[in-house]
Amino acid sequence: MTDSGGKPVLTLKDLSIEFPTPQGIVKAVKSLSLTVHLGRRVGFIGESGSGKTTTALGIMQMLAEPGRISGGRIDLGGTDVLGLSDEQMRLTRLSRIAYIPQGAMNSLNPVMRVENQLWDGVVAHEGKIDPDELKRRSGEALASVGLGAHVGRLYPHELSGGMKQRVCIALGMILGPELIIADEPTSALDVVTQRQVMLTLKDVQTRIGSGLILIGHDMGLMTQSVDELAVLKDGVLVEHGTVRQIIESPQHPYTQDLISSVPLVGGDSFLNPSTRAAAPERDSREPLLRFENVSKVYGEVTALHPVSFTLQGDTPQIISIVGQSGSGKSTMGSIMLGFNPPSTGRVLFEGHDLLRINAAETLKFRKNIQAVFQDPYACFNPFYRVRHALRYPFKRFGLARDEAHIQAKMEEACGAVGLDPDLVLPRYPHQLSGGQRQRLIVARALMLSPKLLIADEPVSMVDASLRATILSNIYDLKDKYGISILYITHDLATAYHVSDYVMVLFKGHVVEAGPPKQVIGDPQHPYTQLLINSIPWPDLHRSWGRDEAGWDPTAEEARAAEAPPKLRGNVPGFDLVVQ
């Protein structure tokens, strides 16, 4: 490394962290050595379990029991962190090292006003302070992250996810620390908000001149945000260098995998379509699913403005619905699944109104429309083995001929998603990884031979390297089994590769729709352009706006709200009508 910034603020020397468990000692971090300089941004990248968060918590001396530091040194600007007493360490936190935690949604105390949560941090380090002085400092901190002073008087539930995370950044800088550790600060946010929060963080860090450790698993976000990258795998630092070195000539095969697993718009597809199966036989001539002027209103908020479309179901298609959180895309999904009655209009399944169908029709509807949801951890009943979770719906829908038939079907479905049935069927859900569980959800849907699969953010909670696998499993459902798919996502790059048709939703309106090569490859509507520009590209030549401190999407969003919807090309079997 040539340009190393200011003097070292954090030096890790042979840092090792272990967790003694009844099954033996788990070494979470193995002999890690690294230096962070003042004014520099260092990214820790790796998959879950790679030890990146554990390292951060080790530096903070906040390891969860029974974790302990088993060797090495942590030097913070000349202070030996491991030699500090509990009280000295408490005083070091926030004033010298600030930590911005992962869960933006939940990291503020719900029963305390925002300003009180800024004040108690100051008071804990500086003792009693004049209230006016406190008020001035909290107002200043909020202003530095682009929030008005009135935000201080609010409670956390009155803030959006992006605002909460900016409050956490304000808290992190209020005592002017030497080092900020941000642990996946934008993992729960959509691309536009992510861009705004990251630019705020970079701006604040530059202003106070501290070092920054950014923890994450998204190569694109890292490329846009940091100066140096440290790649961790299984607790070992496998590669460390400037972003340019790592992006342009990654040395370690794991780093190469991480970079290549990021789906790019326009890049090579990670899918390899083999066959193009015909749609399953249907006993109805009516279109599979039809929205007639469907809208949804919650109180005074219109989540979905009237929209009409017809999905024939005779030509299997993958239709993507993309947009930010709050755009109405998940509302649309739950209306399709019949979980959420529309405020106006009708949803027709093979010509029958979902609100008026009888019990037998409902059963048929449920069998034919299956779903894959975002959280693979919450989708299984933890008390039953996987075998039960797979066979029960199959029997319930009356598809099983006998035990041998069920077994054969389960094995086939597991095989289709690349899992070994002998290995997964006898297990309980908690014994499987998130990726395995999500593939089992796909397998379970496949067993019922549905005609339509609704996949709501199926890969957003899964590690990047597994996303491609799960998406190709889902893609295979169309390719090999002829099942139509509605793919709901905020990830435009995957939508670009997977889908045949894309609808972009903005504040409940369809603003742009058409084949992905046109809509995502060459966006015409200002909102689609905003989304595409906010994607963090793992490409140094395609900047997100490095110098746009205080970037605020409000103006662009206002412009987008004015623009008329753009309807691009069509695909067979899907017709969209927008008022």
Partner 1 sequence: MRLPRKYLVNRLVTLFLTVWIAATLIWIIPRLSPVDPADIMLGRMAAGAGAVENADAILEQLKENFGLNDPLVVQYVKYLKNIVLFDFGLSTATFPTKVSSLIARALPWTLGLMLLSLVITFFIGNLLGALMVWSHSPRLVRVAIPAAMVFTSIPPILSGLLLMWVFAAKLRWFPLTGAYGLTVEPGWNWAFVQSVLHHGFLPALSIVIVTFGFWALGMRGLMITVQGEDYVKLAEAKGLRPRYILYKYMIRNAILPQITAFALKIGLLIAGQVLVERIFAYNGMGKLLYDAILDQDFPVIQGVSFVIILMTAVSVFLVDLVYPFIDPRIRHEGATS
Binding interface with partner 1 (CB under 8 A): 60, 62, 65, 90-95, 98-99, 101-103, 106-112, 120-121, 124-125, 155, 157-158, 168, 171, 299
Is the Cβ of residue 33 or residue 109 nearer to partner 1 in the bound state?
109
State the minimum distance, in angstroms, from the CB of residue 378 to partner 1: 16
State the minimum distance, in angstroms, from the CB of residue 157 to partner 1: 5
State the minimum distance, in angstroms, from the CB of residue 59 to partner 1: 11
**Backbone region of residue 294 per phi and psi (left: phi > 0; alpha: psi in -120 to 50; beta: other values):** beta
Is the Cβ of residue 212 or residue 470 nearer to partner 1 in the bound state?
212
Is the Cβ of residue 94 or residue 493 nearer to partner 1 in the bound state?
94
Cα(51)–Cα(31) distance, integer angstroms:
12
- What is the DSSP pairing of strand 501-506 with strand 318-322? parallel
Is the Cβ of residue 98 or residue 386 nearer to partner 1 in the bound state?
98
Radius of gyration from C-alpha coordinates of the chain: 26
List the structure tokens of 332.
Answer: 């649309």
Is the Cβ of residue 86 or residue 562 nearer to partner 1 in the bound state?
86
CB within 8 Å of 55: residues ≥ 6 apart: 12, 15, 17, 29, 32, 44, 232
The helix/strand/coil state of 260 is: helix
Is the Cβ of residue 158 or residue 552 nearer to partner 1 in the bound state?
158
CA proximity to 196, closest of 562, 555, 559: 555
Is the Cβ of residue 111 or residue 555 nearer to partner 1 in the bound state?
111
Q: Which residue has the tokens 């005779």?
A: 314
Cα(512)–Cα(526) distance, integer angstroms:
10
Is the Cβ of residue 151 or residue 443 nearer to partner 1 in the bound state?
151
Does the CA dihedral 546-547-553-556 come out positive or negative?
negative
Alpha-helix runs per DSSP H in 209-252: 219-225, 243-248
State the minimum distance, in angstroms, from the CB of residue 98 to partner 1: 8
Instruction: Classify each residue of 410-419 as buried b or exposed e, where b means 16 or more C-beta atoms within 10 Å of its C-beta.
Output: beebbebbeb
Cα(164)–Cα(114) distance, integer angstroms:
9
Does the CA dihedral 100-106-107-108 come out positive or negative?
positive
List the structure tokens of 353.
Answer: 């109104």
State the minimum distance, in angstroms, from the CB of residue 87 to partner 1: 9
Is the Cβ of residue 90 or residue 385 nearer to partner 1 in the bound state?
90
Q: In this structure, which amino acid lies at residue 267?
A: G
Is the Cβ of residue 164 or residue 352 nearer to partner 1 in the bound state?
164
State the minimum distance, in angstroms, from the CB of residue 95 to partner 1: 7
Is the Cβ of residue 377 or residue 397 nearer to partner 1 in the bound state?
377
State the minimum distance, in angstroms, from the CB of residue 578 to partner 1: 30
Alpha-helix runs per DSSP H in 419-463: 421-424, 434-447
State the minimum distance, in angstroms, from the CB of residue 373 to partner 1: 22
State the minimum distance, in angstroms, from the CB of residue 99 to partner 1: 4
Is the Cβ of residue 175 or residue 192 nearer to partner 1 in the bound state?
175
State the minimum distance, in angstroms, from the CB of residue 522 to partner 1: 41
Cβ pair 468, 418 in contact under 8 A: no
Cα(132)–Cα(58) distance, integer angstroms:
36
Is the Cβ of residue 36 or residue 535 nearer to partner 1 in the bound state?
36
List the structure tokens of 201.
Answer: 């963080």
Is the Cβ of residue 125 or residue 387 nearer to partner 1 in the bound state?
125
Q: From residue 251, how far is each of 229, 231, 247, 248 by CA, in Å?
A: 13, 11, 10, 10
CA proximity to 285, closest of 319, 312, 309, 317: 312
Cα(504)–Cα(485) distance, integer angstroms:
16
Q: Which residue has the tokens 């193995």?
A: 30
State the minimum distance, in angstroms, from the CB of residue 116 to partner 1: 9
State the minimum distance, in angstroms, from the CB of residue 188 to partner 1: 11
Q: In this structure, which amino acid lies at residue 250?
A: P
CA proximity to 177, closest of 141, 151, 152: 141
List the structure tokens of 95.
Answer: 């004033």
State the minimum distance, in angstroms, from the CB of residue 366 to partner 1: 30
CB atoms within 10 A of CB 320: 28
Percentage helix, strand, coil for the chain under 3-state DSSP, each rounded to 5? 40, 25, 35
State the minimum distance, in angstroms, from the CB of residue 83 to partner 1: 18
List the structure tokens of 392.
Answer: 């029960």
User: For residue 408, which phi and psi values (nearest 5 degrees)?
Assistant: -60, -40
